[in-house]
Amino acid sequence: MGIFKAGITVEYLNQWSRNTMAENIGLEFTQIGDDFLVANMPVDKRTQQPLGLLHGGASVAMAETMGSVAASLCVNPDKQFCVGLDINANHLRGVKQGFVTGVTRPVHIGKKTQVWEIRITNEAGELVCISRITMAVLDKKE
């Protein structure tokens, strides 16, 4: 048994992302593991900077989306919700075309904070960006 709520599917995550930045940048969840999520994002006119390279902001948007979704799947949505506190990213390699793949895994899952690492690779499996997001776990008001 994994860390995420039972019954969550890739289809649900992609439907949940409709009409959000994730949909606008073409981010698509592809796998849910016991303690990780995987998503792909195209490198195209939606995610490139003027020189034709993957925009660092697109990588950060991918990382924030993946970490936020993963964190939200670890709390009871009737009682709590998660919001980003801090995110950092190191951009290690340029990408001009194709797809990048992100994998997010927990570093820490606590009662009031969560920390997630997101590793983004190119189609050759080379590390493009590594990011870490800290999430606040907040209680819903009754």
- Per-residue pLDDT tens over the stretch 9-49: 999 999 999 999 999 999 999 999 999 999 999 999 999 99
Whether 112 has a pLDDT exceeding 90, the answer reads: yes
Q: Which residue's entry shows tokens 């994730």?
A: 22
Q: Which residue has the higher pLDDT, 59 or 7?
A: 59
Over the chain, what is the mean pLDDT?
96
How many percent of the chain have pLDDT more than 90? 95
Q: What is the pLDDT of residue 7?
A: 86
The reported pLDDT for the residue numbered 53 is 97
Q: What is the pLDDT of residue 142?
A: 73
Active-site residue, selected from the candidate residues 11, 23, 28, 64:
64
Phi, psi torsion values for 24, nearest 5 degrees:
-65, -35
Contact 114, 82 (CB under 8 A): yes
Strands (E), 2-126: 28-32, 37-42, 80-91, 99-109, 113-121
123 in catalytic set: no
Q: What is the mean pLDDT of residues 64-87?
A: 96
Domains and CATH numbers, the chain: 10-139 (3.10.129.10)
* pTM of the complete model: 0.95
- C-alpha distances out from residue 97 to 27, 32, 100, Å: 15, 25, 9
**pLDDT > 70? residue 1:** no
The band of 77, judged by pLDDT with boundaries at 50, 70 and 90, is very high
- Residues 128, 99: Cα–Cα separation, whole Å: 11
